[in-house]
Structure 1
């Protein structure tokens, strides 16, 4: 059962459904242990460990995970969390309406131009569909330059570096207006997504 669906003019339908930690674990294991998912920090996980991690997230009152579908097939992972209670506790000054986000595109041998940008646009549209969401906050590894460029393209601004136990992160945030302006600019300029 989808919780959010949108259609990209070029790439078609994208949707999100709640993750089933046990049933989806074998698929997620292939994704999170792939070399392209190095920044996900699960390279050494086994299927049981992936299932355990997503059961832990499902049980948490301030963190949840969703499987992303493209044209009806599993294609990405999205996590939503309350950064005042998970991930960023004590590392920044949370504002009312802040929502934390992670996303991961499935590895593929046949990359589709613009797919990753369509995914992050879908995830942000889903988060901002909730009127309580005022700002989306992310904390990618400072070395993940590809995601920094992608974040900037959809409206994120850098707040600064923070040190987490597992990484030095580039704390960034995107308001609803920043996201809307970035989407409108891309559409107006005929920008081909990243």
Structure 2
């Protein structure tokens, strides 16, 4: 089974579905669109059941269980599919921490935006230098393109050292360790200024 879906010939998805586009000279075009659970679920199910996605918390889940979870997530959050040159390469969840359990564990502010990111299996992006970092910047650019979003809030699993390094590179500042019901997490913040300052250093 292919683990990156090609939508270049899928008539069910049109330009009207696209919410953000970023062209990187010499690399290609990144696009974000709203998830279509019925179209995208097989690919997402494939990803979340892989070892590298263990922190996503769905290893061993059936396709129907993953489908149900995403319909539930969509009741409170927005979920986007990221495509690179018309191939699905990442998943982004955006939510309001004030409407999430996370909001009970820190002093949330208007303008806070929470996010979760899942990138395609690494073997598909080995040939593209700094591909994960590039995807991360596309996501940050997308979130901060909305002037209402003043600060991005993340709560990655405390054991996920790779994402901590990526967050730090993007300007996230560690605040404290949280003991959430389902995990021990790092609470980290990144303002628009933090992010832009970090980009000047990369």
Q: TM-score, normalised by structure 1?
A: 0.91
Distance in 2 between residues matched to 1:8 and 1:144, nearest whole Å: 28
**1:5 pairs with 2:21:** yes
- Give the Cα separation in 1 of the matches to 2:142 and 2:114: 13
Question: Are residues 138 and 10 of structure 1, via their aligned partners in 2, closer, same or farther at CA, if it must alter by over 3 Å?
Answer: farther
CA deviation map 1:11-55 (0-9, x unaligned):
321111000112211010011111000100000111111111111
Counterpart of 1:64 in structure 2 is 78
1:189 corresponding residue in structure 2: none
Cα-to-partner distance string for 1:128-157 (whole Å, 9 max, x where unaligned): 000000000000001101000000001100
Q: Aligned Cα RMSD in Å?
A: 1.2
Partner of 1:84: 98
* Alpha-carbon separation, structure 2, partners of 1:56 and 1:22: 14
Corresponding residue of 1:128: 144
1:192 is matched with none
1:40 paired residue number: 56
Per-residue deviation, 1:119 = 1.1
Partner of 1:54: 70
The one-character-per-residue Cα deviations of 1:44-102 (angstroms, maximum 9, x if unpaired) are: 11111111111112222xx1111110111100000000011114031000012000001
CA contact (8 A) 1:80 1:99 kept: yes
Q: Which 5+ residue runs of structure 2 have no aligned equivalent?
A: 1-16
Return the TM-score normalized by structure 2: 0.87
Residue 102 (str. 1) matches residue 127 (str. 2): no
- Name the CA distance, whole Å, in 2 between partners of 1:109 and 1:66: 22
Distance 2:185 2:197 in 1: 25
* 1:146 to 2:169 alignment: no
Q: Is the 8 A contact 1:14 1:71 kept in 2?
A: yes
For 1:64 and 1:164, how far apart are their aligned partners in 2? Answer: 22
Which has the higher mean CA deviation after the structures are superposed, 166-175 or 8-17? 8-17
Count of residues paired in the alignment: 184
